[in-house]
Amino acid sequence: MTRSSEPLVLGIETSCDETGVGIVRGTTLLADAVASSVDQHARFGGVVPEVASRAHLEAMVPTIERACESAGIVVSDVDAVAVTYGPGLAGALLVGVASAKALALSLGKPLHAVNHLAAHVAVDQLEHGPLPEPCVALLVSGGHSSLLRVEDVTSDVQPLGATIDDAAGEAFDKVARLLGLPFPGGPHIDRSAVSGNSLAIDFPRGLTSRRDLERHRFDFSFSGLKTAVARWVEARERGGEPVPVSDVAASFQEAVCDVLVRKALDAAQCEGIEDLLIGGGVAANSRLRAMAEERASRLGIRVRVPRPGLCTDNGAMVAALGAEVVRRGRAPSRLDVSADSSLPVTSVLG
Ligand code: KG4
Ligand code: ZN
């Protein structure tokens, strides 16, 4: 049972193509309503910002209503409104921020503008209880690939590294397209890889050579890997041979997961931290989860990964961080807070 003394927070997420509205009380999830415009982007092979913004506008009110209904509350019950104010697509973020301001103002409740990346970390509380702090967080999605040191998820998040080109999910999506798999490609590669041989092709591991490690120890690069897969597939096609989709998917997936896990564990050891949290859409990948757990346990590092539905973008993660912000007594945001598409991870609250 939830304690009514804990804050009831409604969170709004619109940084990419998911209109998410979550409602939590403290660390208890009451509702997680998501309307995705992913189908409208499929034929373009990637998210089209203008299409995403319009879809957010249409979905916002019905999604808020759906969340309240499934949480069994009326919107005036909420103690605070939280919203993602960056990073993400500018127009998409604007819809969420404007909606949250309107809601907070009309209800006379505080507004908490929160960083999308920190919200990906905070969401784990809804499933596994209080966050281990400090922890190292590996956030991997279609829009970001970052390694963070999280001292306090509401105030002190430091970047350790990030991708210098494509995000991990973007690499999954582009390689899937090469293999003729639908968008978004991650889940399809994951499924196809199950019947493939991950040792079939030795694809490159970006930024892992000794020289690269000197400058980019905790950074990622996936564009070379994507190109290597493209060259390999083209060579097969030129030779008139069939492309072994499952083997390519499994070998590619192994290369991505190997680098992500290797660098995340190196970061944890370097920082002297025993808890690794993995979030973002790519954290739903079955090989990534298994590999991280297996290698971490050998080093005495604990791994926490939220269930797949909480890894991909959603409103519950924003509400989870909002509730933590309220619980830790942080000041609300001003009503003139603005969306920031390139918000740095160090700006946790607006
Ligand atoms: O976090 P998310 O929903 O949205 C962004 O902020 O991008 O992540 C979506 C990304 C897509 O690139 C998708 O292909 C990838 O997460 N993804 C996966 C899996 N499920 C989703 N990648 C690999 N394996 C999966 N099972
Ligand atoms: Zn995200």
Distance 295 CA to ligand 1 centre (A): 22
- pLDDT band for position 2 (cuts 50, 70, 90): very low
Q: Among the atoms of ligand 1, which is closest to the Cα of residue 47?
A: 7
Kindly identify the ligand whose nearest atom is closest to the C-alpha of 260: 1
Tens digit of each residue's pLDDT (9 = 90 or more) over 122-172: 999 999 999 999 999 999 998 889 999 999 999 999 999 999 999 999 999
Q: Model confidence over 185-212: pLDDT tens digits? A: 999 999 999 999 999 999 999 999 999 9
CA distance 310 to 183: 20
CA of 181 to the centre of ligand 1 (A): 14
Query: Is-contact 317 129, C-beta < 8 A?
Result: no
Residue at 204: amino acid letter = P
How many alpha carbons fall within 13 Å on the CB side of residue 56? 31
Q: What is the pTM of this model?
A: 0.94
Q: Which amino acid is at 33?
A: A
Q: Is the CB of 282 inside a 6 Å radius of any atom of ligand 1?
A: yes
Q: Answer yes or no: is the C-beta of 253 below 6 A from any ligand 1 atom.
A: no
Backbone angles phi, psi at 48, to 5 degrees: -95, 115
C-alpha count within 13 angstroms, C-beta hemisphere, residue 322: 35
For residue 180, which phi and psi values (nearest 5 degrees)? 75, 20
346 class by beta-carbon count within 10 Å (0-12 exposed, 13-18 middle, 19+ buried):
middle
316 and 20 in contact (C-beta within 8 Å)?
Answer: yes
